[in-house]
Structure 1
Amino acid sequence: MALGKLSTGHKVAIWTVILVALDQIVKMLVHANMEVNERIEVFSWFNLCYVENPGFAFGMQLGGGSEGFDWGKVVLTLFRIAMICALIYGIRYLLKKRDEVPTGVIVGAVLILAGAIGNVVDSMFYGLFIEAQGTGFLTGKVIDMIHLPLFKWENCPSFLRFLVGGDGYFFGAVFNVADAYISCAVVYLLIFHYKFFK
């Protein structure tokens, strides 16, 4: 069957799988070829930096548990799974209203879904398969590797400090391909499709 003859729902599923696979391939290449906390400067404004993130955005974490079991991580992973289910439901709803929904909204939703799935795969399974993590099912760390120290921001307002790394550079966080999918999709939807969400 030619790709053009597939239903929009099938195309959404195929693109989601491709995007998740790309994210996982990049993470496995980083894991296989770099040491944790190793940094490779590609350009002055672009580094590869292998980080195992135990939390969520910008390394924030929920409180852990006692006896070595991280209940905070389990709650975070289960919350992510619930959000994926909600996204799938939302995309199915958008596809049913296809004539009223701009293609860009569906593209943005697919990017967010693929990013969420990519990070949940890490949380669910990497603790089982990556020995260095020493964690278990639902408590794996997310592999991050993209660092963009774009410029020095010494007088950053306190409410924006989370955007600046310990070295004083904006953008301080290390993130991954899945995070980039989500961030780019949110910015794209806010800029180009904000009227759809009114």
Structure 2
Amino acid sequence: MKQNFISLRLAYLLVILILIIDQLSKIYIKTNFVLGEEVEVFSWFKIYFIENEGMAWGTKIPGEYGKLFLTLFRLVAVAGIGYWLWDSITRKNSSNYLIVAIILIMAGAFGNIIDSVFYGIFFDDSQQNVATMFSNQPYGTWFHGKVVDMFYFPIWQGNLPSWIPFWGGKEFTFFNAIFNVADVAISTGVGILLFFNAKAFPTQN
């Protein structure tokens, strides 16, 4: 069996490195931008500060305890991913493709969990003023923080031709999602599993 080149120690170091990059970028945005502020880097790339209260694409779980449920679910999921990483390296000697994918997904999920768990008590509100870290007037409570997003790539904006079903004649932006380093890590990890599935999960001969 081919030996993978990623040890458990290296895997944890990579997770920590991604977490540091993710959190430094979020803290910088949070403490230097007002909510909704944007800076144009290129015509197709902007730094645009928003906060996400729910899941991907701004989806929310309704109800008083929806946010708490989401955060607790994320914690359980990360624990499961952590076990998956440990098992893949120490017991199953899994493919490097799979291990890298798990590292990225785990780091990304952990990064957004930090926002959800801690940011509500670490920062004050970003509405109309730059937030202060370790404020005496935090904007939320434990497990009710908002995820910081900032990368925006409006590569193309315009009105679609009227003959296109559903969206024809309407203003359209590609790509209109706003995301962060953690989201990039998760998406890349999932992309590896999808596009390199045969290498991530090789059949045993």
What TM-score bracket applies, with the shorter chain setting the length? 0.7 to 0.9
Q: What's the counterpart of residue 175 of structure 1?
A: 179
Q: What's the counterpart of residue 129 of structure 1?
A: 122
Q: Distance in 2 between matches of 1:43 and 1:55?
A: 28
Q: Distance in 2 between matches of 1:78 and 1:116?
A: 12
Q: Distance in 2 between matches of 1:169 and 1:7?
A: 40
Q: What's the counterpart of residue 63 of structure 1?
A: 62
Q: Cα distance, 1:168 vs. partner?
A: 1.9
Q: Does 1:152 align with 2:157?
A: yes
Q: Distance in 2 between matches of 1:131 and 1:144?
A: 17
Query: Residue 146 of structure 1: SS of its match in structure 2?
Result: strand
Q: Does 1:80 align with 2:74?
A: yes
Query: Residue 10 of structure 2: SS of its match in structure 1?
Result: helix
Q: What's the counterpart of residue 22 of structure 2?
A: 23
Letter in 1 for 2:7: T
Structure 2 stretches of 5 or more lacking a match? Answer: 127-138
Q: Distance in 2 between matches of 1:102 and 1:157?
A: 43
Q: Distance in 2 between matches of 1:157 and 1:129?
A: 46
Q: Cα distance, 1:157 vs. partner?
A: 6.0
Q: Distance in 2 between matches of 1:141 and 1:121?
A: 10
Q: Distance in 1 between matches of 2:9 and 2:185?
A: 20
Q: Cα distance, 1:132 vs. partner?
A: 0.6
Q: Cα distance, 1:31 vs. partner?
A: 1.0
Q: Distance in 2 between matches of 1:167 and 1:137?
A: 39
Structure 1 residue ranges, 4+ long, deviating more than 4 angstroms after superposition: 155-158
Report which structure shows greater RCO (CA 8 Å, sep ≥6).
Answer: 2
Q: Distance in 2 between matches of 1:127 and 1:167?
A: 35
Q: Cα distance, 1:189 vs. partner?
A: 2.0
Structure 1 stretches of 5 or more lacking a match? Answer: 1-5, 66-70
- The farther-off stretch of 186-195 and 115-124 is 186-195
Question: Which of these residues, 93, 103, 119, is aligned with residue 96 of structure 2?
Answer: 103
TM-score by length of 2: 0.81
- Which structure features the higher share of helix residues? 1
Q: Distance in 2 between matches of 1:168 and 1:43?
A: 19
Query: Residue 125 of structure 2: SS of its match in structure 1?
Result: helix
Number of equivalenced pairs: 181
Q: How big is the alpha-carbon RMSD for the aligned residues of Structure 1 and Structure 2?
A: 2.3
Letter in 1 for 2:121: L
Q: What's the counterpart of residue 196 of structure 2?
A: 192
Q: What's the counterpart of residue 89 of structure 1?
A: 83
Preserved contact between residue 148 and residue 180 of structure 2 (Cα < 8 Å): yes
Q: Does 1:139 align with 2:144?
A: yes
Q: Distance in 2 between matches of 1:186 and 1:157?
A: 30
Letter in 2 for 1:191: F
